[in-house]
Structure 1
Amino acid sequence: MTKNSCVSLTESTRDKTQTFWPDEPIQVSIISDALALATQWTQDQAQHSLEKLTPREEQVLKMVGDGYSSTQIGLKLGIAGQTVNTHVKNIFRKLKVRTRAQAIFTAYECGLH
């Protein structure tokens, strides 16, 4: 099953759950399989994105996950806070996220601790 067919199946399943309850085993199985595949695809994409990070970006992301501010990260790494912010922006772009929390969650899901 391709990503597009999985997403399409998942979307159509969501629409239909409003009008019927999937009480037949085959329907439950199809829904379950589609959701599992969508989840796996998302994790695979996140892992691939995480692999695109430079070693410095990984280091910054780990420190963000530990709760450090950009200023604190900069002091610990010997770089300017603005440079840290640039790394964070690059991390967001590569991971396709918009917040530090999303970046941390993605890293955690992919095993970066």
Structure 2
Amino acid sequence: MYVCNHCTLLDHKIKTVPAGSKERSDFIIEKKIHKKRANAFYQLMKQNVDDSVSYCFDLQQIQPLPKTPVQEAYYSRQIGFYNFCVVDVKGLYPKFYCWTEEQAGKGST
């Protein structure tokens, strides 16, 4: 299960502050409010709006080529392989666009 940075920070503060203190109860309340807001946000995201299209974009991890366990080759110049995914949230078929850094960089264009 994934947890956001804010939840992790609040969990750490709750664990480190002495039990029974007002500061600890404030952190617990803040975490409950944060979770309620997050749940409300995800409920809004699940709603279907007529006459709209939603897309999800993901520039995935850049893979070095060639992929090799040989240390000398690993530290020499490698080509970056980029993988960009676009998927319609309502659809099931993602579209992947792949290129190497010699064809284009990682910029917005």
Tell me the TM-score normalized by structure 1. 0.32
Question: 1 or 2, which has the higher strand percentage?
Answer: 2
Question: 1 or 2, which has the higher helix percentage?
Answer: 1
Tell me the TM-score normalized by structure 2. 0.33
